[in-house]
Amino acid sequence: MSTSTASGASSQNGDGTLLQLKGISKHFGPVRALTSVNLSIPPGKVTALCGDNGAGKSVTIKTISGLWSPDGGEILWEGKPVSLHGPKDAEALGITTIYQDLALCDNLDIVQNMFLGHEKLKHRMLDEDSMEQSARQTLKELSVTTVRSIRQPVASLSGGQRQSVAVAKAVMSQAQLVIMDEPTAALGVAQTRMVLDLIKTLAARGVAVMLVSHNLNDVFEVADRIAVLYLGKLATQGPASDYDRSSIVDYMTSGTSGRTSAAGAAA
Amino acid sequence: MEPGATTEAPIEPEPGSGAADTPTETETAIDVASVSPEVLANSTGEYFQAWGQRIKNGESGALPIIVGLIVIVIFFQIEQSSFLTAGNLVNLLEQAATFVMFGAAAMFALILSEIDLSIGYTAGVGAFIIAELIANPISLPWWLGILGGLAACGVLGFVQGSLITRLNLPSFIVTLAGYLGFLGLMLVLANADSTAVGGVITLDQTGPVYKLVNANMSPTLGWIVLIVVLAVFAATMLLRQKRRRDQGLSTAPVGVTILKIAAAAVGGVVLLLICNANRGNGVEFFGGTPWVVPFVAIVLGFYTWLLSRTRLGRYMYAIGANPEAARRAGISVNWIKTTAFIMCSVTAGIAGLIYESNQGSMSTDINGGQLVLYAVAAAVIGGTSLFGGKGKPLHALLGGIVIACVFNGLGLMGVSSAGTDIASAIVLVAAVTLDSLVRRRAVAR
């Protein structure tokens, strides 16, 4: 059922943009956290948002997920302007943000976590059987096969598996845009691999993924598009094939790169 | 992750998924020990293997309580040969009923990682209201009296819960204030009633409130109830298992389920044999199960259902473990928390009802401070965590029985009330230490 919504979203958009930020600005007192940021996020693609510490990545995420309203500019969802007054507004549109803490309850099992807040009921009681089957189905679609039992508590899972559960939870809630904040920051090699594969699977289902990451290995591995923030301004955005590692580093550290075109041609 | 935990146990067979999705990852670093054996085992043998693994890792479940209970029983039996007599054991059960219910009350707060220090005097207030409503001059029917008392307790819980959630005050302080405030309220209630001579209201010995603890089911009725309960329990377990197996969902091995049913049957039969033994000293037969036993069983059964099968219960556990995650999932954290405090206070009221029935009267001498400690001790000894997110009515049952054994045994030995206080303090600290050690071990892993 989530597949149909996701494909529906992509077909609705002639211009191929699910979410668009137009001239978004955000101030905190005298501090200009974001200055007229323009950013496009297409469905079914992985958009990486890069930037050094303090470049405005967190502010951007929090603006999109409705935690902070922008001081200027417009947010367009499927081409229509929307105003987000809280996380619930963003969620209602189909925007799910997975923060680094993952927001999982360690004492609950995988199924219980995936349905938290959206439990299925039967005769006013929890319909465990039906929830377990849907959860199993979703995990299978996402190729998450490493958990021994979906009835084990989340506390017993590895970091990568926990990340998978958080993603599966987003998929269950029919998310069309999944924002992932540093999903691989605390993970080992094998688990990073697993999460990156999961991100690709997610995009292949038609979901727009926004990946916030410092790790350029990860970015170049999964991203279809790359956007770089520098001191609250959008330094560049475009298809990942237009950039290479050194040009992105240039953008992250100085906001410009003389090497872009040459590097893009060379690649 | 502990290397020992990465056992090469088979991946759970997924019916319908085929062998195609064999994991390509070497992501088997699952902490087997922290997973309930039912979840992973495919056969009875595997179940016991997983269980053994858990015990080795400090996740021993109910085992230390049962071992502790056996040690306590042996100790008191050596000291006082009258400990293991039918008469004393039934008396112990009646005492345990109060502690169990207090433990269940404390459990509701502890699941949310909160505390309720006021339950002792909440129970006092509830018990006084019940006693006064059913006595002259008000003389309400017993069930209306009980309802009134419990409703009053619910209001107290609502007030405390609202202060804690809406004003974001620490539950420790709010319920400490409740502890003092409700003691005062109880004294006011006792003084207002002219029938409460010297702060004591005697219960009518023909009324159901008195009879709850002091009257028995006939032995025949006891057997009928036991057989019906066991049959329903076995049928529910087996049918549920069959339904899940038919749908291809994970189930505990059949052998384990049958063992559980058998254990419940043996426990029930032993309990009934003790209760049905003649404990009168005259010619006339005196025996049978006190009504409070099925009463407590029904209440705990209801709470078990509430916590495991409804959204309310699920959300309580979620909030106890990660309130932020619960909030982001759209759960109304404040309302669920307030409801938990209401449940806590109403359960304390039920404990007060059992307490006054056991005493045969309600007196302002009720030691609300000691009862709170017993309540927390009962819950924690049974396995409810002080750190939130973990706790079951079964824990209150086991813990309450342990506390009652200590209380009863020391009473038989003629230990002074000072000695009993010290002993209960030691038991409480021991229980909390155990909880903390288990937790530290779990974190260290």
DSSP per residue, B247-279:
TT-----HHHHHHHHHHHHHHHHHHHHHHHS--
ipTM: 0.82
Condensed to tens digits (0 to 9), the pLDDT of residues B309-322 reads 999 999 999 999 99
Residue A17 has pLDDT above 60, yes or no: yes
Res B29: pLDDT: 39
Q: Compute the average pLDDT of residues A79-102.
A: 88
Res A9: pLDDT: 40
Distance of CA A55 to the CA centre of its chain: 18
Condensed to tens digits (0 to 9), the pLDDT of residues B67-107 reads 888 888 999 999 989 999 999 999 999 999 999 999 999 99
Condensed to tens digits (0 to 9), the pLDDT of residues A182-226 reads 888 888 888 888 889 999 999 998 999 999 988 898 999 999 999
Tell me the C-alpha distance between A21 and A60, whole Å.
10
Res B417: pLDDT: 83
Tell me the C-alpha distance between A58 and A64, whole Å.
10
Percentage, residues of chain B above pLDDT 70: 86
The confidence band for A11, taking pLDDT boundaries of 50, 70 and 90, is very low
Q: Do A158 and B14 touch (CB under 8 A)?
A: no
Residue A168 has pLDDT above 70, yes or no: yes
Q: Compute the average pLDDT of residues B112-131.
A: 96
Contact A251, A235 (CB under 8 A): yes
Q: Compute the average pLDDT of residues B373-382.
A: 89
- Which member of A129, A145, A147 has the closest CB to residue B247? A129
- Which member of A112, A133, A152 has the closest CB to residue B39? A152
Selected for mutation to probe chain B from A100, A128, A156 (highest B CB count within 10 Å) is A156
Q: B196 versus B293: which is more confidently predicted?
A: B293
Res B51: pLDDT: 73
Res A3: pLDDT: 40
Q: Compute the average pLDDT of residues A223-246.
A: 91
Residue B120 has pLDDT above 90, yes or no: yes
- Which member of B28, B40, B314 has the closest CB to residue A149? B40
Minimal CA separation from A262 to chain B, in Å: 38
Query: Which tokens go with B421?
Result: 């206080």
Distance of CA B17 to the CA centre of its chain: 41
Q: What angle do CA B258, B261, B266 make, to 5 degrees?
A: 120
Q: Do B27 and A161 touch (CB under 8 A)?
A: yes
Residue A68 has pLDDT above 50, yes or no: yes
Q: Do A149 and B326 touch (CB under 8 A)?
A: no
Q: Which residue type sits at B202?
A: T
Phi-psi region of A39 (alpha: psi -120 to 50; beta: other; left: phi over 0): beta
Res B69: pLDDT: 86
Residue B428 has pLDDT above 80, yes or no: no
The confidence band for B55, taking pLDDT boundaries of 50, 70 and 90, is low
Q: B192 versus B226: which is more confidently predicted?
A: B226
Q: Do A146 and B23 touch (CB under 8 A)?
A: yes
Query: Which tokens go with B339?
Result: 């409801």
Least confident of A163-172, A222-231, B321-330, B429-438: B429-438
Contact A9, A205 (CB under 8 A): no
Tell me the chain B residues in contact with residue A140 when contact means C-beta distances shorter than 8 Å.
14, 17, 21
Res B224: pLDDT: 96
The count of other CB atoms within 10 Å of the CB of residue B67 is: 11
Minimal CA separation from B343 to chain A, in Å: 19
Which of A172-176, B9-13, B167-171 tops mean pLDDT? B167-171
Three-state secondary-structure class, residue B290: strand
Residue B229 has pLDDT above 90, yes or no: yes
Res A259: pLDDT: 60
Q: Which residue type sits at B348?
A: A
Residue A12 has pLDDT above 60, yes or no: no
Res B136: pLDDT: 83
Tell me the C-alpha distance between A249 and A260, whole Å.
11
Q: Compute the average pLDDT of residues A77-99.
A: 88
Res B443: pLDDT: 55
Q: Compute the average pLDDT of residues B129-141.
A: 91
Peptide bond into B393 cis (omega under 30): no
Tell me the C-alpha distance between B240 and B234, whole Å.
10
Residue B31 has pLDDT above 60, yes or no: no
| B331: closest chain A residue by CA | A117
Tell me the C-alpha distance between A189 and A191, whole Å.
6
- Which member of B12, B247, B331 has the closest CB to residue A133? B247
Residue A102 has pLDDT above 90, yes or no: no
Residue B56 has pLDDT above 70, yes or no: no
- Which member of A126, A129, A153 has the closest CB to residue B311? A126
Phi-psi region of B309 (alpha: psi -120 to 50; beta: other; left: phi over 0): alpha
CA distances from B361 to A57, A241, B193, B264 (A): 67, 84, 14, 34
- As a whole number, the mean pLDDT across chain A is 85
Q: Is A60 on the interface with B (CB under 8 A)?
A: no
Minimal CA separation from A128 to chain B, in Å: 8
Q: B264 versus B59: which is more confidently predicted?
A: B264
Residue A260 has pLDDT above 70, yes or no: no
Residue B380 has pLDDT above 50, yes or no: yes
Tell me the chain B residues in contact with residue A194 when contact means C-beta distances shorter than 8 Å.
25, 27
Q: Which candidate, A114, A102, A99, places its Cα nearest to that of A152? A: A114
Could you give the count of Cα atoms lying within 13 Å of A49 in the half-sphere of its Cβ? 29
Q: Is A100 on the interface with B (CB under 8 A)?
A: no
Interstrand relation of A177-181 and A208-212 (parallel, antiparallel or unpaired): parallel
Minimal CA separation from A193 to chain B, in Å: 9
Percentage, residues of chain A above pLDDT 90: 34
Percentage, residues of chain A above pLDDT 70: 91
Res B169: pLDDT: 95
Tell me the chain A residues in contact with residue B314 when contact means C-beta distances shorter than 8 Å.
108, 112, 116, 119, 126
Residue B21 has pLDDT above 70, yes or no: no
Q: Is B116 exposed, middle or buried (0-12, 13-18, 19+ CB in 10 A)?
A: buried
| B332: closest chain A residue by CA | A117
Query: Which tokens go with A50?
Result: 């890069």
- Which member of B27, B311, B389 has the closest CB to residue A160? B27
For residue B123, give the H/E element and its range: helix B119-134
Res A47: pLDDT: 94
DSSP chain A: -HHHHHHHHHHH-SS--SEEEEEEEEEETTEEEEEEEEEEE-TTSEEEEEE-TTSSHHHHHHHHTTSS--SEEEEEETTEEE---SHHHHHHHTEEEE-TTTT--TTSBHHHHHTTTS--EETTEE-HHHHHHHHHHHHHHTT----S-TTSBGGGS-HHHHHHHHHHHHHHTT-SEEEEESTTTT--HHHHHHHHHHHHHHHHTT-EEEEE-S-HHHHHHH-SEEEEEETTEEEEEEEGGG--HHHHHHHHHHS--TTHHHHHHH-
Q: CA torsion sign, B113 to B115 to B116 to B120?
A: positive
CA distances from B67 to A230, B62, B72, B73, B256 (A): 63, 9, 9, 10, 21
The confidence band for B342, taking pLDDT boundaries of 50, 70 and 90, is very high
Residue B10 has pLDDT above 50, yes or no: no
Res B439: pLDDT: 62
Contact A27, A191 (CB under 8 A): no
Q: A176 versus B251: which is more confidently predicted?
A: A176
Res A112: pLDDT: 94
Q: Is A120 on the interface with B (CB under 8 A)?
A: no
Q: CA torsion sign, B125 to B126 to B130 to B131?
A: negative
Tell me the C-alpha distance between A31 and A194, whole Å.
38
Residue B410 has pLDDT above 60, yes or no: yes
Residue labelled with tokens 């200009």: A32
Residue B226 has pLDDT above 60, yes or no: yes
Q: Which candidate, B417, B230, B388, places its Cα nearest to that of B324? A: B388
